[in-house]
Amino acid sequence: MRDKVSIGLLGLGVVGSGVIKLIENHQEKLVHQLGCEVSVKSVLVRSLDKTRNVEVDRTFLTTNPDDIINDPEIDVIVEVMGGIEETYQYILNAFANKKHVVTANKDLVALYGTNLEAAARKNKCDFYYEASVAGGIPILRGIADGLSSDRIQKVMGIVNGTTNYILTKMSNEGFSYLDALKEAQELGFAEADPTADVEGLDAARKMAILGRLAFSTDVALEDVEVTGIKSLELEDLQYGDKFGYAMKLIGYAQSKDHQIEVSVQPTLLSKEHPLADVKNEYNAVYVYGEAVGETMFYGPGAGSLPTATAVVSDLVTVIKNMRLGVSGTHSLEARFKKELRSADQRSGQYYLRIHVKDRVGAFSEISTLFNDLEISFKRILQTPIKKRESAEIILVTHQTSLDNFQHALDQLKKLEVVLQLKSYYKVEGDAAYELAGTTKTLS
């Protein structure tokens, strides 16, 4: 057995520099845990001459991936370069060369995770990707190991720090969406092109990965229904607040009788729900297990050192497995054939805001429409709109099927009394404690 494990690092950006710092600063702890030294042997970079915020001997750098992937002395590849197709090939080649791989690349794992697990298994290699979901929070292990004996029914996540920061600003300080986005960009919590974040795609990738692990089925990225936060209006956050809800971009992965649904959508979340208190750029993942009930894992969803912590913890696991001779035995293979729930099988509570003509019987028409569809209301608020002969109606429904609710929306739009259907959002957490199989009530 080697008395030293050599790492090849693909990428030396924000996370890559963090990985190098952690391996250097915590060498003593690593040696104690692993009984061997760990060192970074080579690093793939785009340019040899760039100034970096970590000291790396220039002789370690290379611009040729083959220098790393084909180096027989390198045991583990740590991929923190990002990108998809090219990176996918590098990792497949690494497995073919019997190298273990740790990655932080959510785009890649969301798209090709299942194939990569299979390639790792075939080559008896380890493949770990804790850092791909919720940065420094050890949530994948939490699900795979900590709750391994339970049957997970529901995962809800605030898994995108940018949008959570924006929503916190809107809620707490009354910022508009655009002003909040601008501030997030100035503080470095949002990128110059925030599309993937604000349209929910980044969160969708993480939910696909979480759904796969939680339900042992091959959730594909295109299975995730996605709605972003770009069209959110402050009014809806304020009405929500008045009713006891916080607006959050929530990723859902739910399973019932092995039929699953995975989505990302702006949600009015009961302030009693543990996720409602997650503020600013923080992430959290709420897991509801049949036996354990409610658990939540909270922490930083991004950042150089938090993400590097997850990468190096994976690395510790990989090296332990190597030294114990059990590499490649932990790969995840789906137990269940994927079956998605249809709209009539999915139920929820919904908030909607409608502008109607301000005349006698207006509300009665709307109420009749919902009544005919057997949708009842939990909350109703009607207020006149100044200087116009119209009124604003806010409704929160009780549980109904998604199918039925969509039907109601279609019919609403056709009513002559309805001027505009302003917005509608999922409502969650009112019934968090009434989940299948439990009669527990919390005050």
Q: Say whether residue 428 binds a second copy (CB under 8 A).
A: no
Q: Say whether residue 436 binds a second copy (CB under 8 A).
A: no
Strand partners for 282: 300
Touching a second copy, residues 85-124 (CB under 8 A):
none
User: Which two structure tokens, joined as six digits, stand for 156?
Assistant: 């809800």
Q: Say whether residue 294 binds a second copy (CB under 8 A).
A: yes
Scanning 155-163, 198-206, 246-254, 272-280 for contacts with a second copy by CB under 8 A, the matching segment is 272-280
DSSP string, 9-32: EE--SHHHHHHHHHHHHTHHHHHH
Q: What are phi and psi of 231, to 5 degrees?
A: -100, 15
Q: Say whether residue 313 binds a second copy (CB under 8 A).
A: yes
Scanning 75-83, 188-196, 197-205, 291-299 for contacts with a second copy by CB under 8 A, the matching segment is 291-299
364 among the known binding-site residues? no
Scanning 101-109, 205-213, 303-311, 405-413 for contacts with a second copy by CB under 8 A, the matching segment is 303-311
Q: Contact with a second copy (CB under 8 A): which of 316, 352, 362, 419? A: 316
The helix, strand and coil proportions of the chain, stated in percent and rounded to the nearest 5, come to 40, 25, 35
348 among the known binding-site residues? no
244 among the known binding-site residues? no
Strand partners for 152: 289
* Closest C-alpha among 45, 37, 35, 38 to residue 12: 45
- Minimum gap (Å) between residue 46 Cβ and a second copy: 25
Q: Which is nearer to a second copy, 285 or 352 (CB)?
A: 285
CB atoms within 10 A of CB 368: 12
Q: With left for phi above 0 and alpha for psi between -120 and 50, is residue 76 left, alpha or beta?
A: beta
Touching a second copy, residues 10-29 (CB under 8 A):
18, 22, 25-26, 29
Q: Say whether residue 148 binds a second copy (CB under 8 A).
A: yes
Q: Is the dihedral of CA 145, 146, 151, 153 positive or negative?
A: negative
Q: Say whether residue 178 binds a second copy (CB under 8 A).
A: no
11 among the known binding-site residues? yes
191 among the known binding-site residues? yes
**What are the CA-CA distances from residue 27 to residues 2, 40, 199, 239, 309 (Å)?**
17, 12, 40, 52, 13
How big is the site for a second copy, counted in residues (CB under 8 A)? 57
- Minimum gap (Å) between residue 205 Cβ and a second copy: 21
Q: Say whether residue 244 binds a second copy (CB under 8 A).
A: no
Q: Contact with a second copy (CB under 8 A): which of 44, 299, 394, 427? A: 299
Catalytic annotation, residues = 206
Q: Distance between CA atoms of 191 and 197, rounded to whole angstroms?
A: 9
Q: Contact with a second copy (CB under 8 A): which of 329, 364, 376, 383? A: 329
Q: Distance between CA atoms of 41 and 9, rounded to whole angstroms?
A: 8
Q: Distance between CA atoms of 168 and 362, rounded to whole angstroms?
A: 35
Residues 6+ apart with CB under 8 A from 371: none
Helix (H) or strand (E) holding 152: strand 152-158
N- to C-terminal Cα distance for the chain?
A: 57
Q: What are phi and psi of 404, to 5 degrees?
A: -60, -40
Q: Which is nearer to a second copy, 70 or 295 (CB)?
A: 295
Q: Contact with a second copy (CB under 8 A): which of 11, 113, 142, 157? A: 142
378 among the known binding-site residues? no
Q: Which is nearer to a second copy, 307 or 397 (CB)?
A: 307
409 among the known binding-site residues? no
Q: Contact with a second copy (CB under 8 A): which of 37, 150, 218, 365? A: 150
Scanning 144-152, 196-204, 373-381, 386-394 for contacts with a second copy by CB under 8 A, the matching segment is 144-152
What are the DSSP E strand ranges found in 221-371?
Answer: 224-226, 245-256, 259-270, 282-289, 293-300, 347-357
Q: Say whether residue 65 binds a second copy (CB under 8 A).
A: no
Q: Contact with a second copy (CB under 8 A): which of 6, 70, 280, 404? A: 280
* N residues, the chain: 443
318 among the known binding-site residues? no
Task: Name the DSSP letter for residue 146.
Answer: I
- Label the pairing between strands 61-62 and 37-44: parallel
Scanning 140-148, 189-197, 200-208, 232-240 for contacts with a second copy by CB under 8 A, the matching segment is 140-148
Which residues define the annotated binding site for L-homoserine? 191
Which residues define the annotated binding site? 10-17, 106, 191
Q: Which residues bind a second copy (CB under 8 A)?
A: 18, 22, 25-26, 29-30, 32-33, 130, 136-138, 141-142, 145-151, 172, 216, 274, 277, 279-280, 282, 289, 291-300, 303, 305-306, 308-310, 312-313, 315-317, 324-326, 329, 335, 442-443
Which residues define the annotated binding site for NADP(+)? 10-17
